[in-house]
Structure formats: C-alpha cells, structure tokens
Amino acid sequence: MKKFYAFLVTMLLAAGVLAGCGESAEQPKEEKKVEEGQKGAYPVTINDALDNEVVIETKPERIVSVIPSNTEIAFELGFGEEVVGVSDFDNYPPEAEKKEKVGGLEFNVEKVISLNPDLVLAHASTAQSSEAGLQQLKDAGVPVLIVNDAKNFDEVYESIEMIGTAAGAKEKADQLVSDMKSKLEEIKTKAQAIKEEDRKSVMVEVSPAPEIYAAGKNTFMDEMLSAINAENIISEEGWPKMDSEAIIERNPDVIVTTHGFYTEDSVGNVLSRDGWQDITAVKNKQVAAVDSDMVTRSGPRIIEGVEELAKAIYPDVFK
C-alpha cells in the first residue's frame, strides 16, 4: 500500500510539471485524435496522445494495460475478459488484481510480449520514461496506444472514447461519457444553489507533513473544486510544496486529504499538528479524507470522486 502511495505522489508531482505545457494549444489535436479513430469496422486507425498513427487490424482479444486509469476504463467498457495484463499498481476493480502483473513505472517488456497482446494501453504521463520499452513492443509488432494524460473532464471523456474506439466498444464508450456528463451536471446544479456566504474555502492535501503538497491551480482537483462551488486556497500552479505558515495564514474552512487511503489516520494527523489549532477547518473539525483513486485517477470513477469531494466539503448539501 505504501509502495502505491509513493507512486501516486510521484505521478501527481509529474502532472504538476506537465500542467504548464500548454493544454489549450493541444486541444485541437485531442479532437483530431478521437475523430480519426471513430470507424465502425476494423482495421481502425487512431492518432494517439503523442500523435502517433496507430493501426489496429482486428478487434483486440488480448489487452495489456500499463496504468490503472486505462485498466479501469477497459473494465468499465466490458473488456475484463480481454485484459490479460495490468500494472503492479492496479487495484480496481477487484478482478484487475487477479490479472498478470507486468511491472510498475518501468514495465517488464518481456512479460508483456509473453502475454501475446494485440493491444497495449499506455499513457502519456509515462510515455517518455517508458519510451524504450514501448518501442520494443512496437518493433515486436504489438499495437501500442498512448492515451492522453487527462487534465480535465473533457480529456477524461476523450480517453474513454479513444479506448472504446480502439477496443471495439465505441457506442458503449459514448454512452458512458454521456452518463458521466449528466451526473456531473446534476452535481454542478446542486452546487450552484450554495449561497455565496456559505461557500467554503478548501485545501486539498495530497501528501502529509513534514512535506506537505497540495492541489493548486490548473490541476484536475482545482477544476473539481470549481465544479462544486468551493474555493481553492492554493493559488500556486500545479502541486506545490506548502509550508505550515502559508496554510495557517490562508485559513481554509475545510481540509481534505487524499492520502488517507494509503496512510494511517490522515485526519488525526492534520488535527494534531502544532500551530494549526486556530485554522478554521481544524477548530471546527472540518477535516475529511477521500479515496485518492476516485479523485485523482482519470477514469470512469472520477465523477463519483467529485461527489465524494462535495460530500466532504458540503455534507449538508450533498447527503
């Protein structure tokens, strides 16, 4: 569990570095990727997240996923039987844990090839560090689809549609995206009813003391807070390391931890910190832990994550 938490923090900090790479400039490319892959019959040609042209000759029957978010998407689209290999960090759905493990941040190329996949689902967040391994797979004739490193809801939807198109479940992917959008709108509508004077200021802590990291601007978490009508007290970009004095000065109404699922008593850790007793969130015991996978993993459960975040911040509104 601690091993996965270290991986999670590493991935979040990497996302913070990538957040400044110009999402708006790449948006037309994202639209192109989905559009080019929406053919009803095989072979299917898709431009992936790195603008590689990927040709999938036949409907995949053996899929390897090297990152948890892709695995969750594949299972949600009904490809649990087809998935034959997953990363060491895959923990949802429970069936994924029973699949063959192919490694962590650096996957085992030989292991992947031994599973005889006809589609490997990779990810833009690790594409650079895994470049050599991914090239070996391509050289071995394995189609490799690099899915985008989603930084917002729309990009999550694009990831789902890309995988659905590649694996032969375009209609199911479209329906899943439609359902997710509808649920998000329901949450937003409920949040809009919150009066300005009742709006909460929030800090989302992704790594505990002594080295506190929090969700800042231009992150997925910041967009989620906006969706539920909450104010993010972290004005810095990405996932900054914060000192206690800055947090005390900004005085959040609510503190949400995302590391409680992987560390012991994250709420108690926050409530007992020296000098934090006058922070409104601590004084009123408005400190909550949410499942980090739901709120940070860019897959089908992300809308459930928004709702969990809303319940932690506005328990009277989102019961």
**Strands in 270-318 per DSSP E:** 287-289
* Residues 6 or more apart whose Cβ sits within 8 Å of residue 80: 74, 93, 95
Contact 54, 119 (CB under 8 A): no
* Residues 6 or more apart whose Cβ sits within 8 Å of residue 195: none
Name the β-bridge partners of 274: none
Single out the residue of 206, 209, 208 nearest to residue 220, CA to CA: 206
Average pLDDT of each block of 10 consecutive residues along the chain (319 residues)? 49 41 35 43 95 96 97 98 97 96 92 97 93 95 96 96 97 98 98 96 95 94 97 96 97 94 82 96 97 93 97 95
Residues of the chain with CATH 3.40.50.1980: 22-181, 193-313
pTM of the predicted model, to two decimals? 0.86
The superfamily in CATH containing domain 22-181 is Nitrogenase molybdenum iron protein domain (3.40.50.1980)
Quote the pLDDT of residue 263. 72
Quote the pLDDT of residue 16. 41
Tokens 């609510």 correspond to: 254
- CA gap 237, 286 in Å, rounded: 25
CATH entry, 193-313, from 3.40.50.280, 3.40.50.1980, 3.40.1830.10, 1.10.10.10: 3.40.50.1980
Contact 87, 66 (CB under 8 A): yes
Number of residues in the chain: 319
